[in-house]
Amino acid sequence: MTDPLQNLGVRATPNGGTLRVWSASATGIDLCLFGDKDPSWVAEKIPLVRDDANVWSTTSPKLKPGTRYSLQASGPTGPSQAFDPKLHLIDPYARGLARTANGEWRSYVQDDAFDWAGVKKPNTALDHTVIYEAHARGISKLNPAVPEELRGTYAGLANDTAIAYLKDLGVTAIELLPVQQFVSEQRLVKQGLSNYWGYNTLNFFTPHAAYASKAAQTGGTGAVLREFKGMVKLLHEAGIEVILDVVYNHTAEEGRLGPTTSLRGLDNANYYRQDAKGNYVDVTGCGNTVNFATDAAQRLVLDSLRYWANEVQVDGFRFDLAATLGRDAGVVFDPHHPLLEAIVSDPALKNVKMIAEPWDVGMGGWQVGNFPDGWSEWNDDYRDRVREFWLTDIGAARATGTAPIGIGQLAAKLSGSAGTFSQERGPLASVNFVTAHDGFTLADLTAYNQKHNLGNGENNRDGTDDNHSFNYGVEGPTHDATILSAREKATRNLLGTLLLSAGLPMITAGDEFGRSQRGNNNAYCHDSELTWLPWEHEDWQDDLLLVSQKLLRLRRENPALRPVRFGVFGETVPSATQMDWFNKEGLTMSVTDWDSPAERTLQYLAASTPEFEEFNRILLVVHGLEQPETVCLPEHEGVTSYELLWNSADDHAAADTHAPGTELVMAPASMQLFRAH
């Protein structure tokens, strides 16, 4: 049976282009075609015809690549409606957008032609994936090796030096903050600020034009899209995947007094959640919430994903406020919501990585661990516990003489968060992160107890106060060598925990060398050197970068660190990890060892159960108190020696080999990784 909602937007036909638009509430929709020289002058107006599925359509020989067009819709009045036939609206499925001199937007028929030259997606296995979260503009804006006219652009991101940097670092995927066309919120514009992060989407099918080079922006139909595709192609040639951070939960139309640019003017009653009085039901905190209880809104998301995954060849998506996409007609989160299940079961999206930010700000909005099989999820429990163990627990121990809790909760995170994610989904359902774009950078976690957001124009009210950070005695920059040494070791411990844990690791761009935002934990409105990636480093930053590269190499080389499945006691589960836990004496952990704040040392022996790689066994020793501790390396069947691979307290430590039963001294608050032979 033919799908009544297929082929929305403009599609080429032998008779020109056919435009199809969905609206159940409109009583009339007109296609406005604009003159080639004046995008504000309507050269022709064509009425669309409605079918039984509420799809309005027309065919015109003038709907050809480069043609600018808009929609004008009329319909009933009432609290849930917002029709204004004078407004020029964006086609929700427009693949090209241009702006007029007075700031209005025009859709245009896109030229999709591009030669991929046989380059295919890398299709990196999830257990080998390491995500690098970055900003498409900020990553190259300060790169001196990039030609000046390409800095801060898609082409700049794909420059040879940038790609070589990512390869040398050892990440496998770059996750870009929103690159679908967005605009700054009205509030920010009035303040003279801009939305740098991009979580305010105008259209779900067009790349953000301002991130293209000037040559592409003025290069005619298809030039911006070709630059974007060229970036994807070059990254793929280097074996690096591209994941897009996508914002489908709300749009740039904001609240009811916001700008009406597309969905609101076409069918406000069906596209946005409202109460009986027409008030928006906002579970996003952004003014509006797209109503995914409707088939049309679900289809809009699926068609957008298919477009980017197939025609633009991106490899995955991270869904902002993904809990919103799973809310039913009663605004209740349903883990079996048809949209959530369709995203991971659609044959057109096979092998595409799907990552949820598993919360929103509505009732019942925190849904970590509750998404369907096939999804990975940002694990904020992991983030908070790792920060607490290495930072706030240390700060509390300094202040009171005792850390607040033991090591058991950290152990659960190290081994894949089995208490959060089901046996069927396994450890790769957990996207492990210590930082993200939103919050302190890794270096700032060790340098600031408080946020410093005055530059955001909100009197330091914005941004979280729950940072789980510790400044080691001085707020902000210091020349105290003891404090600097403690901060740098804490940063290594945080990175080491992240990259040696079971799960899917995500690094925030710049954390690998200690980038700072001077204590700003909500730098969404700063398009400046505060947020751009610096390419010139101090010596300690170069040292930290070498540590990051080493940790990523060790992760690649040791399958025991990256299991695909959870193990089952008494069974051999393929591609899982057989885990044994020992205390500092080398004995099996007791309840006291797990829970006592005075016993924050453990030894984690993990052996792979090979399916596609050679057998591997590692020993990770974690010590979470600021006093040295003697540990006895555990005796275990099949283990004859332990080879030191990394020591967070001394990255230049010799790669010594020790027999089981050997006693070693762990430096205060440190980690050591061994390969067991």
- Give a three-class secondary structure readout of 245-309: EECCCCCCCCCCCCCCCCHHHHHHHHHECECCCCCECCCCCCCCCECCCCHHHHHHHHHHHHHHH
Higher confidence at residue 39 or residue 198? 198
Is 363 found in the same domain as 314? Answer: yes
Q: Is 85 within a domain?
A: yes
Does residue 183 sit in the same domain as residue 320?
yes
Same domain, residue pair 29 and 100: yes
Beta bridge partners of 31: 46, 71
Per-residue confidence (pLDDT) for residue 531, from 0 to 100: 98
DSSP class of 174: E
For residues 217-240, give the mean pLDDT: 97
Q: Is residue 13 part of a domain?
A: yes
Task: Check pLDDT > 90 for residue 539.
Answer: yes
Q: What is the mean pLDDT of residues 67-88?
A: 97
Q: Tokens 């257990």 map to which residue?
A: 127
- The residue from 346, 371, 396 where one domain ends is 371
- Residue 37: how many CB atoms within 10 A of its CB? 7
Residue with tokens 């009583």: 27
CATH number of residue 102's parent domain: 2.60.40.10
**Residue ranges making up the domain that contains 574:** 568-676
- Asked whether 80 and 96 are in contact (CB, 8 A), the reply is no
Please indicate whether residue 357 is annotated as part of the active site: yes
Rounded Cα gap, residues 278 and 293, in angstroms? 17
Q: Is it the case that residue 2 has pLDDT exceeding 70?
A: no
For residue 573, how far is the Cα from the chain centroid?
30
Average pLDDT over residues 561-572: 90
At 268 the pLDDT is: 98
pLDDT at 652: 85
Residue 655 scores a pLDDT above 90: no
pLDDT over threshold 60, residue 365: yes
Secondary structure (3-state) at 488 = helix
CA distance 603 to 624: 12
Same domain, yes or no, for 96 and 169?
no
Residues 280-297 have a mean pLDDT of 97
Domain boundary among the residues 348, 371, 394 is at 371
- The pLDDT value recorded for residue 40 is 84
52 and 95 in a single domain? The answer is yes
Mean pLDDT score, 275-285 = 96
Closest CA to 358 of 385, 340, 334, 379: 379
User: How far is residue 27 from each of residues 72, 80, 303, 335, 366, measured CA to CA in Å?
Assistant: 11, 15, 25, 36, 39
Could you give the CA distance from residue 289 to residue 326 in angstroms, rounded to a whole number? 12
Q: Are 95 and 159 contained in the same domain?
A: no
Residue with tokens 């979280």: 464
461 pLDDT higher than 60? yes
Q: What pLDDT is attached to residue 572?
A: 85
CATH of the domain at 167: 3.20.20.80
pLDDT above 60 (res 1): no
317 lies in a domain? yes
Any idea what the Cα angle at residue 562 is, between residues 415 and 444, rounded to 5°? 70
Please check whether residue 582 lies inside any domain of the structure: yes
Residue 431 near residue 377, CB atoms below 8 Å: yes
Are both 28 and 158 inside the same structural domain?
Answer: no
Residues 148 and 69 reside in one and the same domain: no
Tell me, yes or no, whether 169 and 234 share the same domain: yes
Q: What is the per-residue pLDDT for 239? A: 98
Cα gap 17→67, rounded to integer Å? 10
Among residues 338, 371, 404, which one ends one of the domains? 371
Q: Is the pLDDT of residue 132 over 60?
A: yes
Position 634 scores a pLDDT of 98
Confidence of residue 104 (pLDDT cuts 50, 70, 90): very high
Give CA torsion, residues 263, 332, 461, 479, to 10 deg. -110
* DSSP structural state of residue 35: -
Q: Are residues 37 and 171 in the same domain?
A: no
Contact yes or no for 535/141 (Cβ under 8 A): no
Angle at 67 between CA 64 and CA 71, to 5 degrees: 110
Do 76 and 204 fall within a single domain? no
Q: Is residue 641 part of a domain?
A: yes
What's the pLDDT at 15?
85
| 133 and 102 within one domain | no
Q: Is residue 426 part of a domain?
A: no
Report the pLDDT value the prediction gives residue 37, as an integer from 0 to 100. 81
Compute, in degrees rounded to 10, the torsion defined by CA atoms 495, 497, 499, 505: -100
Structure tokens at 43: 């050269």
Residues with Cβ < 8 Å from 43, sequence gap 6 or more? 33, 34, 35
One of 357, 393, 527, 593 is an active-site residue; which one?
357
Active-site residue, 320 included: yes
Task: Report the pLDDT value the prediction gives residue 424, as an integer from 0 to 100.
Answer: 95
Taking the CA atoms of the chain, what radius of gyration do you get in angstroms? Answer: 27
**Residue 393: inside a domain, yes or no?**
no
- CATH of residue 602's domain is 2.60.40.1180
Across the chain, what does the average pLDDT equal? 96
pLDDT at 651: 84
Structural domain count, the chain? 3
Find the catalytic residue in 185, 320, 444, 527.
320
- Residue 499 within any structural domain of the chain: no
Q: What percent of the chain has pLDDT over 70?
A: 100
What are 155-184's pLDDT values in tens digits?
999 999 999 999 999 999 999 999 999 999
Using DSSP's 3-state secondary structure scheme, residue 428 falls into helix
pLDDT at 438: 96
